[in-house]
Structure 1
Amino acid sequence: MATDEERVDALAPFRQFLALERDVLVLSLAMFAFSLGFQMTGRYMGRYFEFLGATSVVIGLYGSFGNLISAVYPYPGGALSDRIGSRTALTLFGLASTLGFLLWFGAPAFGAVPGVPAWGWLFVGLALAQAWKSFGLGATFAIVKQSVPPTELATGFASTETFRRTAFLLGPLLAAGLIAAYGFDPGFRYVLGVAAAFGLVATVAQRVLYEASEDSLGKSFEGVSQVVDDLRTMPATLRPLLVGDTLVRFGNGMVYVFVVLVVTQYLEVSATLPVVGYLGPDAFFGVLLAVEMAVALATMVPVAKLAKRVGLKPVVALGFVVYAVFPALLVTAPDGGVAATVPLLGGVSLSETALVTLLFAVSGLRFAGLPAHKALIVGPAEADAGGRVVGSYYLVRNAITIPSAAVGGWLYGLESTRVVGATVGGPALAFGLATVVGLGGVAYFVAFGRELDAYA
């Protein structure tokens, strides 16, 4: 008979297609389809805003609006699911997300409406597109906690992350192919159309195939007092992690929506690949995202197993470091195809394209630390309170990071400013300050973070 350790592995989610009941299969396919749609489109939205004539401040406000949605959606989403049932809620969430993709697709034409700029519809589309993602965050954490031994939490989360992030690998490649074939316009609108099609198919499949007669998501939401109680009862060992994580995510949030602009507009990185041929900056950005996710998928389970030997805290700290230093390293990469030497590689000289590709590959290690990070969040919770602990944790973190993108957008749009006797442009200032904030979070977590007892 297989041990718990043997059963929890990276391929477990894929084996479920052959072994588990139909409801699990349907929901897994829906998760894959929507994740594919989000990853095809989300990382390109900064470029789409720029194409529609928006300023960096507007792009930053869009990022902050996304942070706001991430903070406030989970509680009402769960309450609605409890009230009307998961099958109906899944259908409504799926239709809303599909409509959001369609609004993004039609934004250039909707710009003809008097008084509403074309990019204004992207905000409306985001409010709808994020609906499906609001479903069941805390429940997912709690299920993993209940299903595996305490010493296997990181590996258990690696299993679920591997399945979901396979869509994150395929999505950018599909986007890169369409943009390479048709250019950014209309190529990216075709990407949005494909995302809407995936969403519609997944929604219909959920409605027709999903049987939820015995489904239960727990007690109904009891209002703001429940949120306050959950925050007060959050395990004390989580507080250093929460502070460090919030600072790291604030720094990342300052630049997340602008990474595509740095690659395609600031550095203008392109590549000529075997068989594929020349890829302009817009198409090559999709390849960079795929490289990042390929590294994440390849290292997620090994890193989770490494956590059993060295502990969760060092692995989480490594992920935080990668989050923190990536912005400054990216924005200082040499542009114009100039070669650069990399000391950590023995002084090897790399072209701009190779160096930026290497940076995105290293960036994939931040995702490799996510299973350990999730284990460190849910591990201290009581057996029947995992979902509430996760919900409280993410509510605080996401609420504090709401203004991060707006701050980054304001800095990104500055012509230039004097910093320590040197003149620095807006992109360099925004990305550099993001790294400073992130490193502050790393330092706090390293100094005060606690190890989970099961991994000590």
Structure 2
Amino acid sequence: MSQEQITIESEESGPLDTFRQFFALEQDVLVLSLSMFAFSLGFQMTNRFLPEYIVALGASGFVVGIFGTVGNIISAVFPYPGGAISDRIGSRYALTVFGVVSTLGFGVWLIAPDLGAITVVGITIQPWIWIFVGLLLAQGWKSFGLGATFAIVKQATDPSRLAAGFASTETFRRTAFLIGPVLAAVLIGFHPEFTVSFRYVLLMAIVFGVIGTVAQHILYDASEDSMGDSFEGIEQIKDDLREMPKPLRPLLVGDTLVRFANGMVYVFFVLVITQLYQVGFETTISLAGFSYGVDLSPEAFFGYLLGVEMFIALVFMAPAAKVAERVGLKPIVALGFAVYAIFPVVLISGPAVLAPVMPLSLTLILIFAFSGLRFAGLPSHKALIVGPAEKGTGGRVTGTYYLLRNTIVIPSAALGGYLWEFVSPEIAFTIAAVIGVAGTGYFLASGEEFEAYV
């Protein structure tokens, strides 16, 4: 792939520029990007609603927290073996294997209610256990290429425009994050019983998984794939940790605290809407002389709230990256951290504060729009991670950073689940906000700017 094909050259930066650049890519990168879009669509349609699905199958709030922690474990552990598999069998076959595994995961979620309670050696396996099994499979495709993506953008983009480069790729990928929950909300509206309507969503996710897997296997050009060496073991990880660029350490500490805080409450956002507030959306829309009644269940309303959140993210990511070129990466990253940090307390307390002046549904729309601003700092955050890496080490630095951060964050959801179930949701969300604010403050005090932006 030539430098000109993927370097971000235009001084204008926005979602439309992203799509124009996307269709100018080489075939193999185009196929990979489309596959990423398909699997992101399937995963975003399903994953944010799974806590409600688990509860509907008989699990408690604490189990939802354990579910989040298992997801954290997978995010921390999968990238290393995923990369090793890709090195050993080549990108084409690795993509196909991961695609099949992920699609099977969607299938396990689909049939979980039909399996019912099963007794094995005197132990009763509840239906919600299968959601955990499906999670191990469904996140398979996500294990491919995290570090490689960072390294490619770093190699192809001028150091002073790294944030703009990441804004371009993130804008396209996160379009699936916008479409997925909204499409899920539409499908959920087809049946009043959530365990029935959500299975329509899972069927559609399976379709996207099959399309993504087949397309990437047939269209991907594997002629330039190379087979690498096998994974060198724990010593390789230790070496990578020791060699992490020093400017990354304050960022890593602040980021880990912020992500730990978010991890405590992230899986409970849907339950706040469907169980605590139990709020849907009802209105009448008049168009061309006709009136349309809109009556959304809480589950469907949550999907649209996620759509609002991601719409704001898509609108602000590219402009924020441009602003970073003038003011530096650190202030933009700190802004994203701050929104991450205070969102839990805004979500749990904001509606009560605004109750005298606006309806609950409108309040929640504004709160989730505010949440979308946290993604404004994401491209700058990624640039700050990979920027200090030496040439040829971007993938390893990125992989090491995420391995360490995600490993520390593993118990966060279980802690949040314990507080949610045995103390109170308000306490869980408030403690999360305190931890997030501490992380943001530490980064502001100790974080270092990437030299190319100074």
TM-score range with shorter-chain normalisation? over 0.9
Partners of 1:303 and 1:44 in 2: CA distance: 29
After TM superposition, give the deviation of residue 18 of structure 1 in Å: 3.8
Do residues 38 (structure 1) and 43 (structure 2) align?
Answer: yes
1:59 touches 1:409 (CA, 8 Å); kept in 2?
yes
Counterpart in 2 of 1:281?
298
Decide which of 162, 168, 172 is 1:159's aligned counterpart. 168
Cα offset, 1:254, TM superposition: 0.3
Range with bigger deviation, 217-226 or 45-54: 217-226
The alpha-carbon deviation at position 432 of structure 1 amounts to 0.8
C-alpha contact (below 8 Å) 2:351/2:364 kept by paired residues = no
Return the offset for 1:219: 5.0
Aligned-partner SS, 1:36: helix
Query: Are the equivalent residues in 2 in contact too, given 1:16–1:25 (CA < 8 A)?
Result: no
Task: State the Cα distance separating 1:14 from its structure 2 match.
Answer: 2.2
Instruction: Using the TM superposition, give the Cα deviation of residue 20 of structure 1 relative to its aligned residue in structure 2, in angstroms.
Output: 2.9
Distance, in Å, in 1 between the alignment partners of 2:24 and 2:227 is 23
Return the letter of the residue paired with 1:198. Answer: F
In structure 2, C-alpha distance between the alignment counterparts of 1:449 and 1:185, rounded to whole Å:
46
Displacement after TM superposition at 1:209 (Å): 1.5
Contact 1:269–1:280 (Cα < 8 Å) also in 2:
yes
| Aligned counterpart for 1:301 among listed residues 318, 339, 343 | 318
SS at match of 2:295: strand
- In structure 2, distance between residues paired with 1:243 and 1:299: 26
What are structure 1's unaligned runs of at least 5 residues? 342-348, 417-425
The yes-or-no answer on 1:311 pairing with 2:328 is yes
1:42-95 deviation digits (Å, cap 9, x = unpaired): 111110111001011111111000000000100000000111111111111000
Distance 1:216 1:249 in 2: 35
Give the direction of change, closer, same or farther, for the CA distance of 1:218–1:439 in structure 2 (3 Å limit). farther
Residue identity matched to 1:180: G
Which of 393, 397, 414 pairs up with 1:389?
397
Counting matched residue pairs gives 437
Match of 2:289 in 1: none
Q: Could you say if the C-alpha distance between residues 144 and 218 of structure 1 is closer, same or farther in structure 2, counting changes exceeding 3 Å?
A: farther
AA aligned opposite 1:94: G
Q: Please tell me whether the aligned partners of residues 92 and 217 of structure 2 are also in contact (alpha carbons under 8 angstroms).
A: yes
Q: Which residue of 2 aligns with 1:92?
A: 97
SS at match of 1:332: helix
Q: Does 1:407 align with 2:415?
A: yes
Unmatched runs of 5 consecutive residues or more in structure 2: 286-291
Residue type of the alignment partner of 2:302: F
Which segment drifts farther, 316-325 or 110-119? 110-119
**Could you tell which deviates more after superposition, 302-311 or 6-15?**
6-15
Whether 1:211 aligns to 2:221 is yes
**1:11–1:339 Cα change, 3 Å:** closer
Alpha-carbon distance in structure 2 between the residues aligned to 1:31 and 1:386? 20
Distance 1:34 1:186 in 2: 22
CA distance in 1, matches of 2:147, 2:407: 16
CA contact (8 A) 2:8 2:164 kept: no
Mapped pair 1:69 → 2:56: no
Q: Contact 2:88 / 2:227 at 8 angstroms: preserved in 1?
A: no
Judged with a 3 Å threshold, the aligned counterparts in structure 2 of structure 1 residues 371 and 202 are, in CA distance, closer, same or farther, namely same
1:24 equivalenced with 2:41 (yes/no): no
Q: Is the CA contact 2:8–2:165 (under 8 Å) kept in the aligned structure 1?
A: no
Question: 1:345 maps to which residue?
Answer: none
- Does the 8 A contact of 1:11 with 1:159 survive in 2? no
- 1:177 counterpart = 2:186: yes
> Which residue number in structure 2 is paired with residue 325 of structure 1?
342
User: 159, 163, 168: which one pairs with 2:177?
Assistant: 168
Cα distance in 2 for residues equivalent to 1:17 and 1:235? 31
| Contact preservation (8 Å) 2:253, 2:439 | yes
Taking only the aligned residue pairs, the percentage that are identical comes to 62
1:262 aligns with 2:235: no
Contact persistence 1:333–1:352 (CA under 8 A)? no
Confirm whether residue 449 of structure 1 aligns to residue 447 of structure 2: yes
Give the structure-1-normalised TM-score: 0.93
> TM-score, normalized by length of structure 2?
0.93
CA distance in 1, matches of 2:23, 2:418: 50
Partner of 1:422: none
**Structure 1 contact 43–260 (Cα < 8 Å) conserved:** yes
Per the alignment, residue 49 of structure 1 pairs with 54
